[in-house]
Structure 1
Amino acid sequence: MLRKGIAAAQGRPIGRLGWLRGALGALIGIALAGVVTKLLAEGSAPWLVAPIGASAVLVFAVPASPLAQPWSVLGGNMISAAIGLALGHAIGAPWLAASLAVGLAIAVMTLARCLHPPGGACALLCALGVKTSGWTFAVLLMPFLPNVVLLILAGWAYNTLTGHPWPHRPHPAPALPPGTWAGTYEPADLDAVLESWDEVLDVDREDLDALFREVEQRVLTRWKAGGQ
């Protein structure tokens, strides 16, 4: 169901989360981050980092994803970059520093509740940057921090203006009348299924609940109308 929804959104240009909406948002976000950071940067300091492009895909194309929320973008990128720099300085072998940086970044992001896929790229880039470009912890302030903060600001403004309030707020689940088959579904049932699956789904539990409730509501309405 979720895959079909994504496929449908990818097939239309503007509609609800259409590809044109996401593309324009990413264009604006990256342009803002790049221009402002370049004005702040001194000399030959970098003014855009590659992982910010991956963050833009999440922020503007799937703004409801738990991986795309502001704390995930900020914490995931900055914490991972710091880990990459630390291990890049501490470990002489670049391949080992990069490997440990990505693994540790995933663990720390998960514990800090800011799991963000581009964070893995930040950890890798910074661990290797220490060896290839002589990066120090100053790179966190230029360009990582302004890139991330400006992208978050652009995401907040653009998503809100285009009808997708960000940070994402789960849709309220409609109340169903008691005494119907639809009313037998309890939140504990959903929790039990999620626990039995033992998988991390890229959707909030509250959004899943609201989705199922809406489907139940539509089925119940159809039954009442005699269109079983």
Structure 2
Amino acid sequence: MRGHLGWLRGALGAALAIILSAVVTWLLLGSKSAALPWVVAPLGASAVLVFAVPASPLAQPWSVVGGNLISAAIGIGIGMYTGSAMLAPGLAVGVAIAVMTFTRCLHPPGGACALLCALGAAGGEAWTWAYLLPITANVLTLALVGMIYNNLTGHSWPHRAPPPASNPALVRCSHTRSDIEDVLADWDEVLDVDIDDLDAFLREVNRHVARREIVER
């Protein structure tokens, strides 16, 4: 389901992933299922990225798994160490962003994971490292469902840039990939799109322009 029905494809995939994540986690926890959460809130934000915008660099498997689990560990660690529900969340989110950036797994819900775990560890519930178990089960199940569902519904995940145009002779490109990289460096901004996708998009635009010019001659 593409185009106008893309929202339905994403909605169904996200719903399925969250339900399965809760069920799998509940089964894995066994006797501990009453003391630990079956599903954590940041998983909902991850599901939006994985199923609604699976081509985003922020929604790739390593970003989802690494971003959430690294951030969760940072949140619990800082929360346990500081014991301050006022200080721990800010420190955890800041450190999580830095670590996710350097490990190339930047994932916005990771910030929510860090904050949630910091509050849980520093607050009255006194979360321990045991809480990483349900979070890990949640995240891995979501990633597995995302990989199966997205690929079955026509969206490669991990994402791969579209192949070159079938008739390269029609394409008259005046840019190179290095030009795109130079512009992004000049802007000094992080765009939520892969460079290869930008390159493929521009080449496809050039192909459409070339076809229109041939028709208009």
Please provide the CA RMSD for this pair: 1.6
Q: Secondary structure at the match of 2:183?
A: helix
Q: Deviations over 1:55-109 (max 9, x none)?
A: 0000000000001011000000000000001100111321211100000000000
Pairing 1:40–2:31 present: no
State the alpha-carbon separation in 2 of the partners of residues 132 and 186 from structure 1. 56
How far apart are the structure 1 equivalents of 2:83 and 2:25?
Answer: 31
Question: After the TM superposition, which residues 1-228 of structure 1 pair with which residues of structure 2 at under 5 Å, given as runs?
Answer: 14-16=1-3, 18-41=6-29, 42=32, 43-130=34-121, 131-141=123-133, 143-174=134-165, 176-177=168-169, 182-226=172-216
Contact 2:75 2:113 in 1 (8 A): yes
Instruction: Give the distance between the partners of 1:153 and 1:176, measured in 2 at CA.
Output: 36
The one-letter amino acid paired with 1:218 is H
- Displacement, 1:51? 0.4
Residues 84-142 of structure 1: CA deviation (Å, up to 9, x unaligned)? 0110011132121110000000000000000000000000000000123111011111x
5+ long unaligned stretches in structure 1: 1-13
Task: Give aligned-pair identity as a percent.
Answer: 59
2:124 counterpart letter in structure 1: T
Letter in 1 for 2:2: G
C-alpha deviations, 1:27-65, integer Å up to 9, x for none? Answer: 100010001111222232211100001100000000000
> 1: distance between equivalents of 2:146 and 2:178?
34
Q: Which runs of 5+ in 2 are unaligned?
A: none
Find the aligned partners of 1:144 and 1:209 in 2 and give their Cα distance.
36
TM-score of the two chains, using structure 1 as the length reference: 0.88
Give TM-score, length-normalised by structure 2: 0.92
Alignment: residue pair count: 211
Q: Residue 160 of structure 2: SS of its match in structure 1?
A: coil
**Cα distance in 1 between the residues matched to 2:15 and 2:83:** 38
Distance 1:167 1:61 in 2: 14
Which segment is superposed worse, 165-174 or 65-74? 165-174
Cα-to-partner distance string for 1:170-213 (whole Å, 9 max, x where unaligned): 112337449x8x33222222122111111100010000000000
